[in-house]
Amino acid sequence: MVRSTKSVTINDVAREAGVSRQTVTRALNNMPEVSAATRERVIAAASALNYRPNRAAQGLVRGRETTVGLVVSDLRNPYYPELASQLTRKAGLRGWSVVLCDLGDDPDDAHHRLEAVSQRVDAMVGHLLAATEWRGTLVNTPTVVLDGPSDSEKYAVIAIDYEPGIRAAIDHLMAGGHSHIAMVDAGRTPSIRRQIYRRVLRENGLHWSPDSELVAPDTHDGGVRAAARLREQDPEADAVLAFNDVLAVGMLKGFAHAKVNVPHDFAVVGIDGLDIGTLVTPELTSVAIDKAKLADTAIELVEALLDGAAPPDERLHRTVTHTLVVRESA
């Protein structure tokens, strides 16, 4: 039998098993006053329907706290520990706990990790929408997607608007006399950040050529190497926008090795607004996202999902905007 793709409810299981909703609750929570035969019938019905119990409701029955899974792609990137810190604090104010899932580099291993965590939590939060091969794992898990499209009909979504911050960064560089602005992206397919960079340069009549764009791993070492490559590939460049702060900090080190004076001879701007930007000299100017606000918004959406809200309810779509934080590097 072909089932609907909508979320299966406890009422569906009760109807399939021919019992009451209360009996389903008792059977799935291994409570007394349910015969072995009835429990087996309820479990079979739940399995046939691919029913995932609402763990928030189970928590009320068992006195267990709500648990949120935070999914990150690489915990070595300091953006994710900063986000995890904020999300854990915001969840703690509600008496909730957070389970961290670092997907890592192996897609098969990542799938198993995600599947295991999804069974232990009430809801998931993370940069998940691009991972199409994992969406089936989350079909019955309330999910908040970070940096997703605002028109998603399957998940609660927090869209991230980079444009105001990138525009402010380029305006700031222009005001400082920079007119030949390069960019280092993290992937060969132009990111949203690179697309905005191109558009803003074009609108302002600034120089652009293929030599003004580099692609590098979004790591510290990638930034060090990108600084050297940029000086060879586009020697007229007098400023650079890096895909993220980790890359930008690496570029600061690369320029220091090459005796390039930042910001007097060259300006560097990162994206993300990480704390590491204040630990280097010169301190990094960055297009920053308020991670406390991002975490607050994610927790609010989790709460709405657990209270019964369901996509595509427009209340489950929010937008967080980047802003420019001016420090010493530009």
Q: Please give the model's pTM, rounded to 2 decimal places.
A: 0.78
Domains of the chain, earliest start first: 10-51 (1.10.260.40), 65-161+292-321 (3.40.50.2300), 163-288 (3.40.50.2300)
Q: Where are the beta strands (DSSP E) in 148-238?
A: 156-161, 181-185, 213-215
pLDDT for 134 equals 53
Q: Where are the beta strands (DSSP E) in 261-312?
A: 267-272, 285-288
**Cα distance between the two ends of the chain:** 62
CB 108 within 8 Å of CB 89: no
* C-alpha span between 39 and 49 (Å, rounded): 15
The pLDDT averaged over each successive group of 10 residues in the chain (330 residues) is 54 86 73 80 84 56 72 90 95 91 78 80 80 56 82 81 96 96 95 96 94 94 96 95 97 96 96 96 96 95 85 85 96
Instruction: Give the residue among 179, 190, 181, 250 at the shortest CA–CA distance from 215.
Output: 190
Whether the bond between 312 and the residue before it is cis, its omega within 30 degrees of 0, is yes
pLDDT for 2 equals 38
* Residues paired with residue 143 on neighbouring β-strands, in sequence order: 124
Which residues neighbour 22 within 8 Å (Cβ) at sequence distance 6 or greater? none
Which residues neighbour 99 within 8 Å (Cβ) at sequence distance 6 or greater? 67, 68, 69, 70, 117, 120, 121
CB 183 within 8 Å of CB 210: no
Q: Other CB atoms closer than 10 Å to residue 205's CB: what's the count?
A: 8
* C-alpha span between 211 and 242 (Å, rounded): 15
Long-range contacts of 310-314 (CB under 8 A, 24+ apart): 310/7, 311/152, 311/153, 311/154, 311/155, 311/156, 312/152, 312/153
The upper half-sphere exposure of residue 153, i.e. CA atoms within 13 Å in the direction of its Cβ, equals: 2
Q: Where are the beta strands (DSSP E) in the chain?
A: 67-72, 97-102, 123-126, 143-146, 156-161, 181-185, 213-215, 239-242, 267-272, 285-288, 317-321, 323-325
pLDDT for 199 equals 97
